[in-house]
Amino acid sequence: MQVRPISPERLTALLAERIDAHPAGAAGGWLRIAVDGAPAAGPGELADSLVEPLRLRGRPVLRVSAADFLRPASLRLEYGRHDPDAYHDLWLDDGALLREVLDPLEPGGSGRVLPSLRDAATDRSTRAPYTELPPGGVLLLDGALLLGRWLPFELTVHLALSASALARRTPPEERWTLPAFARYEAETGPSALADLTVRSDDPRHPALVLP
């Protein structure tokens, strides 16, 4: 295994090039891209940075966040507001994410995607309208704990943080989630599962992990 330092700008360009060249997209199919990582690693920021480069390459893009597909609070918080095992196992509504976002982008699917389902802060439906992603379009999904759930993606990127960097960059009010990410590392091994892993201890100086 090798680790190659790369600038944030070059990382974005490299990912955009790799997505655009993916065989499924070249054949006119949809591309479902997951950017996985703890909130402290900034997966949403990386996914956002890919939107414009892909559009400049002629790719329609839809941005979706897994944080908008959490289970209702009555299920999510059944074991309390700060239970790391519940955060790991129960918070993400995998079924809704499959039904409303990923399955419609299967070959032969409708391309009709719901960009958000529930506002976690209010525990109410976002009432977002469905949107059509044209064939050849790219779904950019960011979120935490996405890998190892049998969710279908054409490309997965994992933003890896050391335990010390994760603790340092996680706000005090969210540090109760740290055991969930330690469990994710131990049980799922996201760096091994992802198509591309990026070490992100310092967001100004990421590094590609090469096999």
pTM over 0.85: yes
Strands 207-210, 196-199: pairing is antiparallel
Residues facing 209 on adjacent strands: 3, 197
- pLDDT by position in tens, the chain (length 211): 789 999 999 999 999 999 999 998 877 899 999 999 999 999 999 999 999 999 999 999 999 999 999 999 999 998 889 999 999 999 999 999 999 999 999 999 999 999 999 999 999 999 999 999 999 999 999 999 999 999 999 999 999 999 999 999 999 999 999 999 999 999 999 999 999 999 999 989 999 998 7
Long-range CB contacts for residues 43-48, cutoff 8 Å, separation at least 24: 43/142, 43/143, 43/144, 43/159, 44/142, 46/11, 46/12, 46/15, 46/142, 46/157, 46/159, 46/198, 47/140, 47/141, 47/142
